[in-house]
Structure 1
């Protein structure tokens, strides 16, 4: 698809439809995998070409009688975060804050309540963070865990990698 074809809506103001175009454009640029155990719910490959979403996270949520896919919002967060880390060399906490705000706005632009979306994430966050890591991608970028000095998670990832290989 041509770059100009991705822009279906046009506005100089903050516009939900334009943000929807952005989410779709980001989705076209990376592959998504739901096949692994990923601490912090989601992550990215070292080269940024693949977004990993924990295999135990539900793929959808119910909202006002409709089924909503979660991946587009997580993917948006992860792509923005990874880009800020790699291109601008931001610390993870700063990149995460910006990505979280964009994720929030994408959720709202899709007509969902942020609180409802966050409720699904929070219900799954602790079980995912505490799960035994059986399947970890070999190219998972560990910058978030390193920048946060989350040595216990880094240790779990290393042990899972060693058991795999």
Structure 2
């Protein structure tokens, strides 16, 4: 798809429709995988071509009578974070904070309440973080775990097959 065809809305100001276009464009650039166990809910491949979302996380949440997909928001977060790590060599904590704000704004642009969205994420975070890792992608980027000195998770990941 040509870049100009992805832009359906134009504005120089902060605009929810433009952000929604951007979120859709980001999602078209990666493959999303739901078949692995991913600590911290989501992650990315070393080459940034695949976004991994933990297989236990629901794919949708109910919001005002409809089911809303979670992937576009998580993909936005993971792509922004990975780009900041790789292209600008930021520390994970800084990249994560910027990515979290992009994710939050994408959630709000979609008409969801950020606190409600976060409640769903927090409800699954602990059980995902404590799960026995059975399926781990071989090419999962381990930078977040290294930068946080999360040696316990790193050990679990490497034992389960991440390189």
> Does residue 138 of structure 1 match 2:128?
no
- Offset at 1:107? 0.1
> Does residue 93 of structure 1 match 2:97?
no
TM-score, structure 2 normalization: 0.99
Matched ranges for 1:19-98 at <5 A: 19-98=19-98
RMSD (Å), alpha carbons? 1.1
> Does residue 104 of structure 1 match 2:104?
yes
Aligned residue for 2:8, secondary structure, equals coil
Q: Which residue of 1 aligns with 2:160?
A: 160
Cα deviation 1:115-162 (Å, max 9, x = unaligned): 010010000000000000000000000000000000000000011018
Q: Structure 1 regions of 5+ residues with no counterpart?
A: none
**Counterpart-to-counterpart distance in 2, 1:110 and 1:100:** 15
Q: Which residue of 2 aligns with 1:118?
A: 118
**Counterpart-to-counterpart distance in 2, 1:29 and 1:112:** 24
Cα deviation 1:6-50 (Å, max 9, x = unaligned): 000000000000000000000110000000000000000000000
**Counterpart-to-counterpart distance in 2, 1:7 and 1:96:** 26
Aligned residue for 2:161, secondary structure, equals helix
Q: Which residue of 2 aligns with 1:147?
A: 147
Aligned residue for 2:26, secondary structure, equals helix
TM-score, structure 1 normalization: 0.97
